[in-house]
Structures are given as C-alpha cells and as structure tokens.
A and B are shown apart, each in its own frame.
Chain A
Amino acid sequence: MEELGPVVVAELYGWRITTTVVMSTLLTGFLTFVSFLSTRHLQDIPGRLQNTLETVVELLEGLVEDNMGEKGKDYFPFIGTLFLYILLSNWMGAIPGLRSPTSDINVTVALAVIVLLASHVYGLSKKGLAHFKHYLEPMPIFLPLNLMEEVTKPLSLAFRLFGNVTGEHIVVAVLGLIVPLLVPVPMSLFGLFTGLIQALVFTMLAMVYITQATEEE
C-alpha cells in the first residue's frame, strides 16, 4: 500500500519539497497553461479548446449566480478558481503515479483558511467596521459561540475535504490489495463522482460564508 500523506522528495535550502508541492505546482501549471492557450487568440467563432473553456466558465458563472444572485459576479473569479483547483486536484488522484494535493491535510487547511480570510476581507470592504457587529448577534451573550464558529467553520471545511479524498484513496488501495484486477475500477469511478460533489460542497459553503459576511441588513 502506498504511503499515506506527503513524502519528502527533495530538500532545497532547508525547505522540504514534498510530493504535495510537486503535484500542486503541476496542477497550477496545467491550469495556467490551458487558460493561456485558450485565451491567446480569442475568436468570435470559438475553436475546440476555447469552446470547452467557455462552457466551463459559463457553468460556474451559473452556479455562482444561482447561489449569490447578481452581486455574486464580484466573487466569481475567487469561487471559480477555488472550484477548478479542488475539482482537478480531487480527480488527479485517479491517475496512476499522481497524487491528489487535497489528500494532504495541509492543503485543505490552507484552502479553508483562505476562504475564512476572504469572507472577512469581503465583509470589511463591503461594510467597513460594521462587519464585526455580527459577532454580537442575535444577542451579545452569543459572542463566545460566534467566536467558536470562526474556528469550527474552517476546521469542518478542511476535514471534510481531506477525509473524503483520503478515504476514497484508501478504499481503492485496499481493494487493489485484495483483488488487483478490475474490482477497484467502479470504486475509482465513484471517487470521481465524490470528488465532484466535494468540490461543489466546498465552493457552495465558501459562497454561503461570503454571502453571510457581505449581506446587508
């Protein structure tokens, strides 16, 4: 059974380069490269690549608008990037030799902290210091509970993504140990489905948190 968690592959000036860093860089490079290729020569009648990317962007835009309304357009770049990164990194684990960056808990915690910070930044830029008033609602006595929520929100986001992706990998690996031929394939396919759902849930919750932080009373 392959090792669980990130493996250190190199050391650079005291920085440990793990497989997660390599895979994550690969993925980011791939996304950047494809986006660059498809938008280099934008055409009125889109070619194959441009058409694909346009469909993806339109689907995501529809998703954001369904959940956040018209003003969701401001947050679309953030949400869209988050979704594409999580989706592709979930799916990456299905390719032999590659590992999902999201099966490393450091990555998912980082993503959750980014979402938390983004919701605060958006809230502050939208409402100013009145943003912090929501800690005292519905009553000032709820302050400790509201503060605790600040910890549990990113924690549950991070653990949900990490646990789902890692659990899927472990199930496929264990099945592969018992019956290496064909039997793990349906489970692997199911993994693609849960990867999509988890990416959707993560971005959906990110949208909910941002909406909560920016909505006016």
Chain B
Amino acid sequence: MITAKALVLAVTILSAALAIGLGTIGPGLGQGIAISRAVEGIARQPEAADNIRMTMLIGIAIIESLTIYAFVIALVLIFANPLLGRV
C-alpha cells in the first residue's frame, strides 16, 4: 500500500533529478556554441584574445544561470519541499 506521503516523496525526487537533467541540456548546447565561436574568433584574431575571453566568460556565466534556476528548483524540492506539508 503506497501512502500519499511516499508518493509525493517519490515524485519529488524524480522531478528534482529531471529538473537538473533536462535543465542542463539547453545551456550545455548553448555554452558549446558560445565557446566554439569564441575559439574561432581567437584563432582568427589572436590579438583580440583577452577581449573575447572576457566576453565569453561573462556570456557563459549568464547562460549558466539557466541551469542554476533548475538547480535551485531541485534544491527547493529536496530540502524545502512545499508539497509535503499538504498531504
């Protein structure tokens, strides 16, 4: 017999894992594209390397925040589950 609480817990864990797993796909692809373009740019114009590297790092950090949102959702689900109090 599965209790309601056990069901909520199971779904919570699964959704936390899914949030991280799915949430990393898009930003991963995006960062890959950004880095490849930056490397192309540096190879073409090595004298602009510092500038490009800086812009790339900032851009990557901003893309990364998308994953971080998913991560925060997962953290909330695991450590501060708002749904457990309802059952």
State whether B65 touches A156 (Cβ < 8 A).
Answer: yes
How many angstroms from the CA of A201 to the CA of B54 in the assembled complex? 11
State whether A159 touches B61 (Cβ < 8 A).
Answer: no
> Shortest distance in angstroms between B84's beta carbon and chain A's nearest beta carbon?
16
> Shortest distance in angstroms between B46's beta carbon and chain A's nearest beta carbon?
20
State whether A167 touches B71 (Cβ < 8 A).
Answer: yes
Q: Which residues of A contact B58 (CB under 8 A)?
A: 200-201, 204
> Shortest distance in angstroms between B56's beta carbon and chain A's nearest beta carbon?
11
Q: Which residues of B contact A5 (CB under 8 A)?
A: 79
Q: Which residues of A contact B57 (CB under 8 A)?
A: 197, 200
State whether B79 touches A159 (Cβ < 8 A).
Answer: no
Does A62 lie at the interface of the complex (its beta carbon under 8 Å from any beta carbon of B)?
no
State whether A198 touches B61 (Cβ < 8 A).
Answer: yes
How many angstroms from the CA of A179 to the CA of B64 in the assembled complex? 27
Does A160 lie at the interface of the complex (its beta carbon under 8 Å from any beta carbon of B)?
yes
Binary per-residue interface labels of chain A (92-136) against chain B in the complex, 1 for a CB within 8 Å, 0 otherwise: 000000000000000000000000000000000000000000000
| Dominant SS among interface residues on chain B | helix
Number of residues on chain B facing chain A (CB within 8 A): 12
How many angstroms from the CA of A159 to the CA of B71 in the assembled complex? 10
Q: Which residues of B contact A198 (CB under 8 A)?
A: 61
User: Quick one: closest B residue to A200, CB to CB?
Assistant: B58
State whether A197 touches B61 (Cβ < 8 A).
Answer: yes
State whether B75 touches A166 (Cβ < 8 A).
Answer: yes
Does B49 lie at the interface of the complex (its beta carbon under 8 Å from any beta carbon of A)?
no
User: Quick one: closest B residue to A196, CB to CB?
Assistant: B57
> Shortest distance in angstroms between A208's beta carbon and chain B's nearest beta carbon?
10
- Residues of chain A from 184 to 201 with CB closer than 8 A to chain B in the complex: 197-198, 200-201
State whether A163 touches B68 (Cβ < 8 A).
Answer: yes
Q: Which residues of B contact A200 (CB under 8 A)?
A: 57-58, 61
> In the complex, which of the residues A163, A197, A204 contacts B72, with contact meaning CB atoms closer than 8 Å?
A163
> Shortest distance in angstroms between A122's beta carbon and chain B's nearest beta carbon?
22
- Residues of chain B from 58 to 79 with CB closer than 8 A to chain A in the complex: 58, 61-62, 64-65, 68-69, 71-72, 75, 79
Q: Which residues of A contact B69 (CB under 8 A)?
A: 156, 159, 163
Q: Which residues of B contact A166 (CB under 8 A)?
A: 75
Of the listed residues A4, A160, A197, the one surrounded by the most CB atoms of chain B closer than 10 A to its CB is A160
How many angstroms from the CA of A164 to the CA of B69 in the assembled complex? 10
State whether A164 touches B68 (Cβ < 8 A).
Answer: yes
Having A4-B75, A201-B62, one finds 5 other A-B pairs with CB under 8 Å, namely A159-B72, A160-B64, A163-B75, A167-B68, A198-B61
Closest 10 CB pairs of A and B: A163-B68, A160-B65, A201-B61, A163-B72, A163-B71, A197-B61, A159-B72, A160-B68, A4-B79, A167-B71
Q: Could you name 28 residue pairs across A and B whose Cβ atoms are closer than 8 Å?
A: A4-B75, A5-B79, A156-B65, A156-B69, A159-B65, A159-B69, A159-B72, A160-B64, A160-B65, A160-B68, A162-B72, A163-B65, A163-B68, A163-B71, A163-B72, A164-B64, A164-B68, A167-B68, A167-B71, A197-B57, A197-B61, A198-B61, A200-B57, A200-B58, A200-B61, A201-B58, A201-B61, A201-B62
